[in-house]
Every structure is written in C-alpha cells, then in structure tokens.
Amino acid sequence: MKNKKSKTEKTGNISRRGFLKGAGIAAAGTVIVGSGILISKPHSHEKDEKFVPGTISINMKVNGKIREMNIEPRTTLADALRSELHLTGTKVGCNRGACSACTVWIDGIPTLSCMTLAVEVGDREVTTIEGLAKDDRLHPVQEAFIEHDATQCGFCTPGMIMTAAHLLARNPSPTEDDVKKATSGNFCRCGTHPKVFAATLDAAHKA
C-alpha cells in the first residue's frame, strides 16, 4: 500500500462539487481512471473503458489547512497523512479496524483512518493529533495524559487522546463509565487504561 511518489498529470476540468469548495476531489459523480485523469459525469464515462488506476492529486483540509497530495484511489487516509503529509502522529496498529490506534476526526467524528480511503474524504475536515493543540497550548487531555503518565510505548496514545478529547467535546462531565465506553475500541497493549480513564476525568474537571 505504498504510494507512488511520481508526479501526476494535472487533472483537466475539475471545477465540480467538492472541488468548488476547494477541498478534495471526491465530488459525487466523478470517476478516477487511467493515471489520474478525472472524468466528469455523466457525459464522458464509457462502459468499456480500461481502468488502470494511477496516482492522482487531491486537496484535503487537514488541521485547518488545505493540503495538496498525490494518492491512489487505494491509499488509505492513514497512509496519506503519514506518507504524504508526514503527519506521523497518527499510528497504524492493526490496519484492519480492530485497534483504533489510527483514530482521527472527520468533521469532528472519531473515524478510523486505516479503513477510510483518502479519496473519499472530499470536502470534510480532518483533524489529527497534530491539530489538537491550539496556539502552542496543549489540549487539556494531552496535558492530563502527561500529568498522569497515561502513556507507555505511546502507540495507542494519539488514537486514545483523539477519542477522549471527542468525548469531552460532547460530554464535558463524563462518568468513568462514559470514558470506558468511549474508549472501549481503543486497545492498549501496555495496559495504560486505568491511567487513561483517570487522565480523561481529570481533564474534564479542569476544562
């Protein structure tokens, strides 16, 4: 699943839907074929054309900025973030949807970046662990994780923090049970769960 870094043909007329909004090519009714040529629907698509999917250039809004990147249709959001944008804070554990290490927000909703195609993000906004701090100030959950030493090897931590921070955004005074439920999909092999719960509850008190 490595991306080819080769320069792509610039896409032709791409001023449709998602693109109009300036973020993403996943405009409904488009097909991506042969080395990154974007064909607008409904007129130009022929049933028997040869599909040789190649690299394409897309725009994606990540942590408040519109970023351009070269991906293939099969590139996952996790790979796009890590390999194209070098936002390596997002970790890939199982790469199959089972551990939640790769959790990012799409339009504020915790989403598995390993099971999302980059091409599908469209004009929705992605927030990663790198985008959580505001003006050099860590997010309260990040601070609480440091204070409580809620991280060991750290591999699950970015996903854990994105999940916990979303809980607090939705529910500013959660119970321990709420925290357990919210993080029930986030696996930690180092066993930091008790500290994760304590840190999240503490962050809620301070926020």
Partner 1 sequence: MNKFSWYDAASIEEAQKEVNATVSQTIQPDSPENAAVFKASGIDLLDLMKEGLSGPAKVVGIRNIPGLDEISFDPEKGLRVGAMVTLSQISGDDRIKANYLALHQAASRAATPQIRNMATLGGNLAQRTHCWYFRSKELVCFRKGSSTCFAHVGENENHAIMSYGYCVSIHSSSLATALMAFDSIVEIKDKDGKIRLVPIKNFFVLPTVDRTRENILEPGELMTAVILPAPKRNTVSYYIKMGSRKSQDWPMAEVAVVAELSGNVCKSVNVALGAAAPVPLISKLANDSITGKTITEATAAEAGRAAMQIALPLSENGYKIPVFQTIIKRALLAVV
Ligand X SMILES: Cc1cc2nc3c(=O)[nH]c(=O)nc-3n(C[C@H](O)[C@H](O)[C@H](O)COP(=O)(O)OP(=O)(O)OC[C@H]3O[C@@H](n4cnc5c(N)ncnc54)[C@H](O)[C@@H]3O)c2cc1C
Question: Of the candidates 22, 29, 34, 97, which one interacts with ligand X according to CB under 6 A?
Answer: 97
CA dihedral 66, 72, 75, 78 (to 10 degrees): -20
Among 18, 93, 131, 158, binds ligand FES (CB under 6 A): 93
Q: Between 40 and 95, whose beta carbon lies closer to ligand FES?
A: 95
Write down the least CB distance from residue 185 to ligand X, Å.
8
**Within a 10 A sphere around the Cβ of 15, how many other Cβ atoms?**
8
H or E segment and range at residue 103: strand 103-106
Nearer CB in complex with partner 1: 32/80: 32
DSSP annotation of 153 reads: S
Residues within window 97-156 making contact with ligand FES, judged by CB under 6 A: 97-102, 112, 114, 151-156
Q: Which helix (H) or strand (E) holds 158?
A: helix 157-170
Which H/E stretch holds residue 67? strand 65-71
Location of structure tokens 């990154």: 36
Per CB under 8 A, 180 contacts partner 1: yes
Q: Establish if 192 lies at the interface with ligand FES (CB under 6 A).
A: yes
Q: Amino acid identity, residue 80?
A: A
Q: Which of 12, 20, 44, 97 binds partner 1 (CB under 8 A)?
A: 97
Range in contact with partner 1 (rule: CB under 8 A) among 81-89, 126-134, 137-145, 182-190: 182-190
Q: Which is nearer to ligand FES, 59 or 100 (CB)?
A: 100
Residues 1-40 close enough to bind ligand X by CB under 6 A = none
Q: Which two tokens stand for residue 101?
A: 């290490």
Query: Any contact of residue 109 with ligand X (CB under 6 A)?
Result: no
Residue 81 burial by CB count (10 A; 0-12/13-18/19+): exposed, middle or buried? Answer: buried
Point out which residues bind ligand X (CB under 6 A).
97-98
